Amino acid sequence: MPNPVVLVTGAAHRLGAQTVETLHARGWNVIIHYRSRKTQAQNLTARLNQKRPDSAACYPADLSSVEEIRTLAHQACTHWGRLDALVNNASVFYPNPTEKTSEEDWEKVLGTNLKAPFFLLQQCLPSLRISSGSVINLIDIYSEKPLKDHPLYCASKAGLAALTRAWAKDLAPDIRVNGVSPGAILWPDGDSGADEEYQQAILDKTPLARTGNPNDIAGAIAYLMCDAPFVTGQILTVDGGRSLHM
């Protein structure tokens, strides 16, 4: 029987790469999407193909372009002639106080975090219906309890949470749709706000008193995709209990 196939967006590094490795280890063939991290994507693809020949492929796409989304979906669905799961992981995160936010900021954040998952799923629907597939959206605990000066990011993730629940109703019984909502797992790349004082303030509000590990998120995704056939429309919070005190 052919291996199931998953497309993971933003999969060249960080949580996306760990998700790819976890699912690959569970027997999945993986389509690794990247935007600018070509070398990292190619290296990850090569490493996985060494473990299991013809089990990984990578394709670039700018997810702000519906045309490129359409191309990526076609590549993912035709590479092995099937698509069994989609993980919408790619995300843009940076502060944008309301008084300083531009239309370009709106298009960038809402485009990547909300518009792209919608149209990518739309383009993958025929294949996912054939396979009775699964969709996992990466949400954020800030979708419910907003982070100061990040209104666009919080709105985009709240919208993705709403899409998760709406799709779970609209696409059943053919396709299951769930979400994973991380807390503090990896500190943001290049974020000057993530200094030691900022980090400690977050940990002080986390009952488990530590950050999570990328494996925590990848494991949650794998559970919802592989081990929870009667679960749909749910958003699994993986935050060490932090949302209890936000």
pLDDT tens across 48-62, in order? 999 999 999 999 999
Q: How far apart are CA 161 and CA 85, in angstroms?
A: 18
CA gap 140, 136 in Å, rounded: 13
Q: What's the whole-number mean pLDDT along residues 148-168?
A: 97
Q: At what angle do helices 116-131 and 66-79 cross, to 10 degrees?
A: 20
Residue 138: burial class (beta carbons within 10 Å; 0-12, 13-18, 19+): buried
End-to-end CA distance of the chain: 47
Proportion of the chain above pLDDT 90, given as a percent:
78
Q: Measured between alpha carbons, how far is 53 from 166 in angstroms, rounded to an integer?
A: 38
Q: What's the pLDDT at 183? A: 77
What are the domain boundaries of the chain? 5-238
pLDDT band at 147 (very low <50, low <70, confident <90, very high): confident
- Selected catalytic residue, list 34, 59, 142, 153: 153
Question: What fold is seen in the domain 5-238?
Answer: Rossmann fold (3.40.50)
Q: What is the pLDDT of residue 108?
A: 95
User: How far apart are alpha carbons 9 and 17 in whole angstroms?
Assistant: 9
The pTM of this model reads: 0.94
With cut-offs at 50, 70 and 90, classify the pLDDT of residue 194: low
Which percentage of the chain shows pLDDT scores above 70? Answer: 94
Mean of pLDDT values over 125-133: 98
pLDDT at residue 10 greater than cutoff 50: yes
Cα angle: 177, vertex 180, 185; to 5 degrees: 160
Contacts of 80 (CB under 8 A, 6+ apart): 2, 3, 5, 29
Query: Would you say 60 and 34 are in contact if contact means Cβ atoms under 8 Å apart?
Result: yes
User: Which residues lie across from 179 on neighbouring strands?
Assistant: 137, 235
Chain-wide mean pLDDT for the chain?
Answer: 92
pLDDT-derived band of residue 246, with 50, 70 and 90 as boundaries? low
CA distances from 1 to 4, 27, 28, 158 (A): 9, 11, 12, 38
Confidence class for position 4, pLDDT limits 50, 70, 90:
very high
pLDDT at 192: 42
Active site residue 153: yes
Would you state the pLDDT for residue 188?
65
